[in-house]
Structure 1
């Protein structure tokens, strides 16, 4: 055999050995395994891109707008001599902005909103009827403060009347009589805190944060279109006799709100009907009545920003 023939034979042998080697199968399995690992990574990445925060970042006008909302809230909180917790929710996009949003305050009468919602839920579930008559128990139900029942106490009231009075007039006796349908104030608060907030509180000093209140109002707002009883509560809040705090000359007739007052604790939680409606919950603890004009001022400031600076396209 010539030298060229020997070289040809060796090359032919090497080529045949490579193609029939068992290493070919191993390479194929490695490629398939790598693809399986990478697929979940791609799915997770795309779900993050679809989240609300990246969408906000992609819209420079909204980013600037929310910065102005945040700055307005921050400046207001810094100007108040006392404690403030404040939360804003843009009901068009769901964007929430808070300043001290997890700070707890004595709830005062703001707790009457989730109570009214729980009563509506009980009626719709069939465990209570609107025309059921509840008996006034002086030891359990009597309480001084806001309301109209205290001026002419009757032996019985319908559930519907008590629900309306608790919101429209912020009636404390009506609130306590509604608590009785749960077995008393402690059990009622346990039920509503667990249902709406998935948490517990000190029942002798029931507390809420501005973010808690915003969450409750968000439920009320979103469900009122399909829940006529929630719409009724919303209407009670719009027609309250308390024309103060979030109900200003600018917002009059366009705010559904519920105030709460106890000593230095002065609060208001509401839904404001601008072209792009928003939730605002403000909890304060300061000297004398300082919280009242403070809430009115920050409400008007945020109303102005929401009305004039909201981007035309989101």
Structure 2
């Protein structure tokens, strides 16, 4: 082969190698995704809370910590004889971890938290006043179960009293009277689910997932510093008369929570005030009162991990 022939062969080989190389850019695909890959959709949906560096969430120390949280949740859930849904949210970073987080449970009295928040929103919008008197209607409002109104029913109650009773005492009659301000329980639940969760529910069997409840508590926590009425609800949750489930000897005075109970459905949703506060929502459906010690055990275990093993900056 002549010198010119060899040079031609080498050039031809290099040109062919370039065009068929695996490093060649697919410009058609790049155009379709351009502007979308810079910030992935999943990152937007689960963006960290304010003042958190994105790199913090990816640090090896924090990843190991969240792995320990997840292991604790998974192992404890396996010990329960029944259905469980658990969601944890680190309020420092916004990181959320769930076990059966999308499993639905009858909401029971956990629904009283978003109900109280919606009442507060209506007052702030000028549609209601805290000193408004609501008349008790036995046919519409009476309900057995928890609360103190049932022990001495009065003809009317102020809106503020009903809101406080619905959270502090988990008062069922107070809840029903608050529903009346929306035109009844069906209308109230429809508005509640649409506003906080952007979804519908079976109104005769209102259901929550642990992730639904965590979403609501995250709104309460993040807005209470600028919304005095949400801060008031948070204070009611801290001063509830139900010293059980998430309120243990370890967490006493350091948890704002709301229990829910109906037959085997035993729940608790709360915000725990460690140095790095976190949300915990636990929904159970099991034998008799089995959910109560289960929730307490899981709470103490996660409290210990959060308090003792959270990475230092």
Query: Fold match, TM over 0.5?
Result: yes
Distance 1:312 1:138, change over 3 A: same
Residue 23 of structure 2 corresponds to none
Give the number of the structure whose residues are more often helix, by fraction. 1
Q: CA deviation at 1:87?
A: 0.1
2:235–2:256 contact (8 Å) kept in structure 1: yes
| Cα distance change of structure 1 residues 153 and 89 upon mapping to structure 2, 3 Å threshold | same
Shift of 1:45: 3.9
Tell me the secondary structure at the aligned position of residue 283 of structure 2: strand
Gaps of at least 5 residues in structure 2 are: 1-25, 49-53
> How well do the aligned residues superpose, as a CA RMSD in angstroms?
2.0
In 1, the alpha carbon distance for the partners of 2:176 and 2:138 equals: 10
Report the Cα distance in structure 2 between the residues aligned to 1:35 and 1:229, rounded to whole angstroms: 53
Unaligned runs of 5+ in 1: 1-33
After TM superposition, give the deviation of residue 36 of structure 1 in Å: 12
Kindly provide the CA deviation profile for residues 60-85 of structure 1, in whole angstroms up to 9, marking residues without a partner as x: 00110000000100011111000000
CA distance in 1 between counterparts of 2:222 and 2:287 reads: 36
2-structure distance, mates of 1:50, 1:131: 44
Which stretch shows the higher mean deviation, 40-49 or 79-88? Answer: 40-49
* Bigger radius of gyration among the two: 1
Q: Are residue 47 (structure 1) and residue 39 (structure 2) matched? A: yes
What does residue 257 of structure 1 align with?
257
Q: Does 2:115 align with 1:115?
A: yes
Provide, for residues 31-53 of structure 1, a one-character-per-residue CA deviation record: whole Å limited to 9, x for no partner. Answer: xxx99996896754432499459
C-alpha distance in 1 between matches for 2:249 and 2:114:
27
Residue 131 of structure 2 aligns with which residue?
131
Aligned residue for 1:281? 281
SS of the counterpart of 1:83?
strand
The corresponding residue for 1:79 is 79
**SS in structure 2 of the partner of residue 145 of structure 1:** coil
Give deviations 1:148-178, integer Å, cap 9, x for gaps.
0000000000000000000000000000000
Q: TM-score, normalized by length of structure 2?
A: 0.85
Cα distance in 1, alignment partners of residues 69 and 81 from structure 2: 21
Give the C-alpha shift of residue 211 in structure 1.
0.2
**C-alpha contact (below 8 Å) 1:56/1:63 kept by paired residues:** no
Structure 2 distance, partners of 1:109, 1:267, is 9
Q: Distance in 2 between the 1:171 and 1:142 partners?
A: 11
Give the match for residue 301 of structure 1.
Answer: 301
Deviation at 1:303, TM superposition (A): 0.1
2: distance between equivalents of 1:37 and 1:177? 57
Change in CA separation of 1:133 and 1:57 when aligned onto 2, cut-off 3 Å = closer
Secondary structure in 2 matching 1:246: coil
| Cα displacement (A) at 1:242 | 0.3
C-alpha distance in 1 between matches for 2:194 and 2:293: 33
2:100 — aligned with what?
A: 100
The residue matched to 2:296 in structure 1 has which SS?
Answer: helix
- Separation of aligned partners in 2, 1:123 and 1:210: 28
Give yes or no for contact 1:86–1:100 (8 Å, CA) kept in 2. yes
Report SS of the residue matched to 2:282: strand
Q: So what's the TM-score if we normalise by structure 1?
A: 0.85
Q: State the distance in 2 between where 1:57 and 1:260 align.
A: 33
Q: Give the 3-state SS of the residue equivalent to 2:229 in structure 1.
A: helix
Q: Secondary structure of 2:127's partner?
A: coil
Partner of 2:67: 67
Query: Within 1, Cα distance between the matches of 2:181 and 2:70?
Result: 41
Paired with 2:204 and 2:247, the residues of 1 have a C-alpha distance of 30
1:135, CA displacement in angstroms? 0.2
